[in-house]
């Protein structure tokens, strides 16, 4: 029974999100709304590209042997936008602050 209650809570949460998105969309002209959507699609693209390259650098196999996944030059070589450390959930080393080096 707990699973069914959790499913209902999940559905109502999703419904609330959709209703909120519809309210926001109604207040924005379609010509302006596309800028928001295209911006979100671009952020998703650079986030996915970063994740793929970061995983390859972390594995250190093939051409990535000996590569440092925290070195911004590794990302520049592959023309991939480098997100700051705090944005990817990677904890900073002790004594080091999150963000760009």
CB distance 82 to 46 below 8 Å: no
- For 1, 17, 47, the CA distances from 82, given in Å and listed in that order, are 45, 30, 9
- For 17, 25, 48, 56, the CA distances from 22, given in Å and listed in that order, are 9, 5, 27, 39
In this prediction, residue 99 carries a pLDDT of: 45
In this prediction, residue 98 carries a pLDDT of: 45
Please say if the pLDDT value at position 9 is more than 70: no
* Per-residue pLDDT tens over the stretch 55-96: 998 998 888 888 888 888 888 888 888 766 555 554 445 554
In this prediction, residue 72 carries a pLDDT of: 84
User: What is the rounded CA–CA span in Å between residue 24 and residue 30?
Assistant: 11
Please say if the pLDDT value at position 97 is more than 50: no
Q: Where are the domains of the chain?
A: 30-88
């Amino acid at each position: 029974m707990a699973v069914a209650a959790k499913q209902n809570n999940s559905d109502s949460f999703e419904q609330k999100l959709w209703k909120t998105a519809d309210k926001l969309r109604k207040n924005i002209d379609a010509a302006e709304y596309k800028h928001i959507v295209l911006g979100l699609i671009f952020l998703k693209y650079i986030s996915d590209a970063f994740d793929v390259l970061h995983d390859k650098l972390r594995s250190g196999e093939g051409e990535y042997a000996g590569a440092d996944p925290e070195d911004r030059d590794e990302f520049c070589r592959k023309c991939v936008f480098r997100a700051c450390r705090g944005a990817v959930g990677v904890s900073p080393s002790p004594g080091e602050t999150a963000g760009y080096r």
